Structure 1
Amino acid sequence: MSKHERWNALLELLAANGRLDVEEAASTVGVSAATIRRDLDELAEQQMLVRTRGGAVAHGVSFELPLRYKSSRNASEKQRIAAAVADLIDEGAVVGLNGGTTTTEVGRALALRVAGGRQPDRPSGDAPRLTVVTNALNIASELTVRQQIKIVLTGGVARPQTYELVGPLTAGVLHQIALDVAVLGVDGIDPRLGVMTHQEDEASISRLFAERAQRVVVAADSSKIGRRAFARICDLSALDVLVTDKGIPSDTVDRLTEAGVKVITV
């Protein structure tokens, strides 16, 4: 197992349990305790965990893994969710995408749907079949090569954890545009507190995406349901649709429906 694979395994364990014991982690990962200690020391230097005597603990209310370590979590669910979200978006729409692994999959699903259409690639100057406005560097990078999609990348300061641009420059661009649909990836959906994420600067930008859109769609796997994070994006009343997997509890579906949110499970 490579160092990257070990780190990925350790961070997944930490995200699931909130803490790690060196001996237990060594047994689970299949390496020596000394190797685990070195790995934890290096991860602590990168501020990805907090080192303790005998192990490590997670940061914050709800642990934030860097995007590169989150991409493999619930991958099949996220791909199904993304395909369902893409089906909700009309050709020619202006779509806002914030950053995250699920919205990255939504971007890919939109690109595949556009590419699979009957219209040929648009000549230069013709109207795009889709316009995507995003503050996520990785999403913009993937979609820029798609000739049928117009990409608008906001300005701002990049956060290395999520590749999202945030700050006054980002807000300034979003204040000047109107969206047909905003698709939000989130870190938590609490029935009382609403939709949440880890960082307050990302929350403010996601809130602005929602405010600029006629329709707001949250794309989140069921592990996010009932989960709290640090910063609130908006109330449930601001949402139109939640697309998630079938792991969502039925009573939660009822509560969301009562709040006016259409729940689509895949």
Structure 2
Amino acid sequence: MDRYARWNALLELLTETGRVTVEDAAERLDVSQATIRRDFDQLAQQQMITRTRGGAVASGVSYDLPLRYKTAKHSEEKQRIGTAAAAIVSPGMVVGLNGGTTTTEVARALAVRPDLASTADGAQLTVVTNALNIANELLVRSRMKIVVTGGVVRPQSFELVGPLGGGILREVTLDVALLGVDALDVSLGAAAHHEGEAAMNSLMVARAKRVVIIADSSKLGGHAFARICPVERIETLVTDSGADPKIVAGFREAGLNVIVA
């Protein structure tokens, strides 16, 4: 287990329990207590946790973990979802992509499709994104047209938020918006932990002909602080095979096309 995967595991453990000792963490992760002490010290320096005598307690920010700590979570599922979501895209489309680990996998799947570089009449796939890492993934690996919104960067997600980006989004039309979310519920709709990200995502929804939500099974049936859109605005949900069949059935009853990767 590498350092970031270990830190991710520690942060999730603290999110679940609120407090953990060095001894317990070392036993759960099968590493030495000295390694856990160093991990706790480094996470405390980044204000991700609060150090205590013999252990650590959770800080509020651990519920919205920086992107680099999320990459190890459900990685195989996210890769399958990314491939399935990318298959929805056709050459010449204008596609909206927000930030997140699952949409990063969508971007990687799009980048390796040679048919998307250009059509017979020369039209390229256009990707509109508010995420710097998504733009980078596509720029270095493909010949697509990339449009990046303005805004202020959130270090946790590499997403641009705020009114500067909204001005650009209001002037474009998207064939499809492929959006990662922090939570998706039949009654509450799609939501994000951060209100700035939710606002940008809502603008993408408003400018899109079709809305596709990309969410691994851990996001389904949950809730987050700021709503992106109601479930009625969503055409398709792409999730993984670990999703609860009852929850999946609920989304299908609500009229969503559910793709299980």
Q: Same fold (TM over 0.5)?
A: yes
The 3 A distance-change label for structure 1 pair 76 and 220 is same
Instruction: Give, as a single letter, the amino acid of the residue that structure 1 aligns with 2:20.
Output: L
The 3 A distance-change label for structure 1 pair 3 and 249 is closer
The match for 1:71 is 71
> SS of 1:27's equivalent?
helix
Which runs of no fewer than 5 residues in structure 2 stay unpaired? Answer: none
- Following superposition, the deviation at residue 35 of structure 1 comes to 4.7
The match for 1:214 is 209
- Following superposition, the deviation at residue 17 of structure 1 comes to 5.0
Instruction: Give, as a single letter, the amino acid of the residue that structure 2 aligns with 1:57.
Output: A
Q: Deviations over 1:238-263 (max 9, x none)?
A: 11100001111222122112222111
CA distance in 1, matches of 2:83, 2:67: 20
> SS of 2:57's equivalent?
strand
Q: Does 1:164 align with 2:178?
A: no
The match for 1:263 is 258
The 3 A distance-change label for structure 1 pair 7 and 212 is same
- Following superposition, the deviation at residue 147 of structure 1 comes to 5.0
Contact 1:19 1:58 (C-alpha < 8 Å) held by counterparts: no
CA distance in 2, matches of 1:150, 1:200: 28
CA distance in 1, matches of 2:49, 2:233: 33
> SS of 2:146's equivalent?
strand
Matched ranges for 1:1-266 at <5 A:
3-4=3-4, 6-15=6-15, 17=17, 19-33=19-33, 35-51=35-51, 54-59=55-60, 63-113=63-113, 115=114, 117=115, 127-266=122-261
Instruction: Give, as a single letter, the amino acid of the residue that structure 2 aligns with 1:90.
Output: S
Contact 1:128 1:148 (C-alpha < 8 Å) held by counterparts: no
The 3 A distance-change label for structure 1 pair 216 and 201 is same
CA distance in 1, matches of 2:24, 2:73: 21
CA distance in 1, matches of 2:179, 2:17: 26
Instruction: Give, as a single letter, the amino acid of the residue that structure 2 aligns with 1:9.
Output: A
- Following superposition, the deviation at residue 265 of structure 1 comes to 0.5
Instruction: Give, as a single letter, the amino acid of the residue that structure 2 aligns with 1:47.
Output: Q
Q: Deviations over 1:148-175 (max 9, x none)?
A: 3100011110011100000011111101
Instruction: Give, as a single letter, the amino acid of the residue that structure 1 aligns with 2:48.
Output: M
Q: Deviations over 1:11-36 (max 9, x none)?
A: 24335555433321022234454553
Q: TM-score, normalization: structure 2?
A: 0.89
Contact 1:40 1:56 (C-alpha < 8 Å) held by counterparts: no
- Which has the higher mean CA deviation after the structures are superposed, 166-175 or 42-51? 42-51
Q: Percent identity?
A: 56
> SS of 2:168's equivalent?
helix
Which runs of no fewer than 5 residues in structure 1 stay unpaired? Answer: none
> SS of 2:65's equivalent?
coil
Instruction: Say what the alpha-carbon RMSD is for the aligned residues.
Output: 2.4
> SS of 1:55's equivalent?
strand
- Following superposition, the deviation at residue 211 of structure 1 comes to 0.8
> SS of 1:248's equivalent?
coil
- Following superposition, the deviation at residue 41 of structure 1 comes to 3.8
The number of residue pairs the alignment matches comes to 259
Q: Deviations over 1:52-75 (max 9, x none)?
A: 564322526x82221111112111
- Which has the higher mean CA deviation after the structures are superposed, 146-155 or 236-245? 146-155
CA distance in 1, matches of 2:50, 2:227: 24
Q: Deviations over 1:174-198 (max 9, x none)?
A: 0110100000001111222111111
- Which has the higher mean CA deviation after the structures are superposed, 49-58 or 156-165? 49-58
Q: TM-score, normalization: structure 1?
A: 0.88
